Structure 1
Amino acid sequence: MSVPVPPWQQRAARQRSVKQPLSLELIVRTALELLDAEGLDAVSMRKVAQRLGTGAASLYAHVRNKDELHELVLDLVIGEIALPEPDPEKWQDQLKELVRQQVAVLSAHPGIAQVVMRTPAPTGPNALRVSEAMLAILRSAGMPDRVVAFAVDVLALYGTAVALERTADFGLSDDERRERLAQVEQYFGALPPERFPTITALLPALVSGSDDERFEFGLDLLVRGLAAHAP
């Protein structure tokens, strides 16, 4: 004769078996957790379903396919960007801060910047909020509409490219990457100056500066260029 399960263990078993109702928000947040843990290639309908303790078919009632899932995760990440109230007196600082935030949030979730590059135009609610904010900041500076429209595209591309480079592993560990960069510097230093006079002359400058310094230089270059279009 079997021994009955104590009542307190029965309650615990019932509590463990209760699943959180499946929803679009839960699916997308679970996909983001999977992205952070295992990378973009791991974010599939099947793996997200496994994490949720259900079958992949149940996800299709909420998400059309893997590509749409990736875009939804991207929009969730973009929602981490804080948006300022446009101030014509501070438009340059506000613009720079938005791009810095873009780089920061995309870099915090390695792989998600790839989704930006293969999405013709992110149109999720958070992406639209960021676009609206950036357009409003540029327009508050009095720039022509065409300049404003083109500038948003250029700034977004710059921020995404920086995040892509920062999160790419190139198949190398951190130590291997540092070693490769040192080898590149040595190789440039060994180039014949009669054939590559400019590279050899500028070598100290070419290998100087941190990633942040180079990013800020490029960002300042873009914003200063836009300032030429402001009245």
Structure 2
Amino acid sequence: MATERSDMPTPPGRRPRKAAAARQPLTRELIVDAAIRVLDAEGLEAATMRRVAQELGTGAASLYAHVSGREELRELMLDRVAGEVRLPVPDPARWQEQLKELALETRRVLTSHRDIAQVSIGLIPTGPNLLAVAEAQLALMRAGGVPPKIAALAVDTLGMFVDADAIEGTIYSAKLSGGAEAIEKFHRYLGEIRDFFKALPADRYPNVTAMAQELTSEGGDARFEFGLDILLRGIASYVDAPETS
């Protein structure tokens, strides 16, 4: 059977055949780009090798030449997201304020990409962007006189706190994603929780019942900054203190 040659003219009465668009060679960068698009649109669980391959118009098997599997892909996604964090130039006079700003910035970036913070829990950073964030945190603490051992422990504690709050934030964001009706429903739920606390047996839960308003009044941002302040005060207490072995 003769094959149709590409140099043949178009017969009369037929539409010219469009030349097939040249497919861009698959790279790790393109795979991570596609995975983050899926993440932002559909969430972390949707960013499977199969779904990312579909986004790229290829088969899942072709991805394995560049990424070993889902776990590596997730780590690459997290590191790419971490590259969006704006890092400060250490100022010893403002190290606590800068450390707080960096934590707020990291939280902002994580929560802007749905539930990507789930990947960070239990993960030791090895990617260049994640390491850059850790390096910036350590540099700020060392510039402020925090002993090396304390700084090493604190960078892990800060990371866990930011990750946990970001994950909780995505849960609440999902609940509030339905617009005004969802927000009203959530506030109504908080009111019901407040009433529940007040109705508890006061002899068994005297502080919960007495502080029902306080326990349900502050929003996520205020709680996060309060937690940061506690951590930073604790870290600062080790400055100029003898380091224990």
* Same structural fold, with TM-score higher than 0.5 when normalized by the shorter chain: yes
Which residue number in structure 1 is paired with residue 94 of structure 2? Answer: 90
Structure 2 distance, partners of 1:149, 1:72, is: 24
Distance 1:151 1:23 in 2: 37
Q: Which runs of 5+ in 1 are unaligned?
A: none
Match of 1:14 in 2: 19
Paired amino acid for 1:136: A
1:215 paired residue among 220, 224, 231: 224
Maintained 8 Å contact 1:102/1:160: no
Contact 1:114–1:164 (Cα < 8 Å) also in 2: yes
Determine which of 4, 10, 13 is the counterpart of 1:3.
13
Matches of residues 77-226 of structure 1 in structure 2 within 5 Å? 77-119=81-123, 121-168=124-171, 172=175, 175=182, 176-226=185-235
Q: Name the residue aligned to 1:230.
A: 239
Quick one: percent identity of the two aligned structures?
Answer: 48
CA contact (8 A) 1:138 1:148 kept: yes
Equivalent residue for 1:71, pick from 57, 70, 75: 75
Structure 2 CA distance for partners of 1:42 and 1:58, relative to 1, 3 Å? same
Aligned equivalent of 2:56: 52
Cα gap change, 1:137 to 1:171, in 2 (>3 Å): closer
What are the Cα deviations for residues 55-90 of structure 1, in whole angstroms up to 9, with x where unaligned? 111111100001100110000101000111111111
Contact map agreement 2:194 2:213 (CA 8 A) in 1 = no
SS of match in other structure, 2:84: coil
- Distance across 1 between alignment mates of 2:63 and 2:12: 40
One-letter amino acid of the counterpart of residue 54, structure 1: T
Higher normalized helix content (fraction of residues): 1
Task: Give the letter aligned to residue 161 of structure 1.
Answer: A
Q: Deviations over 1:169-188 (max 9, x none)?
A: 59856524433322211111
Deviation at residue 5 of structure 1 after TM alignment: 1.9
Structure 1 residue ranges (4+ consecutive) displaced by more than 6 angstroms after TM superposition = none
Give me the whole-angstrom Cα distance separating, in 2, the residues matched to 1:146 and 1:2.
Answer: 81
- Aligned-pair CA distance for 1:194: 2.5
Q: Does residue 43 in structure 1 map to residue 52 in structure 2?
A: no
Is the 1:103–1:159 Cα contact (8 Å) retained in structure 2? yes
Compute the TM-score of the two structures, normalised by the length of structure 1: 0.91
Structure 2 gaps of 5+ residues are 1-10, 241-245
Structure 2 CA distance for aligned equivalents of residues 158 and 72 of structure 1: 21
Deviation track 1:120-147 (CA, whole Å, cap 9, x = no partner) reads x021110011111111111111121110
Larger radius of gyration: 2
Report the number of matched residues: 224
Does the 8 Å CA contact 2:95/2:140 hold for their aligned counterparts? yes
Q: Check whether the contact 1:113–1:160 (CA below 8 A) recurs between aligned residues.
A: yes
The alignment's TM-score, normalised by the length of structure 2, stands at: 0.86
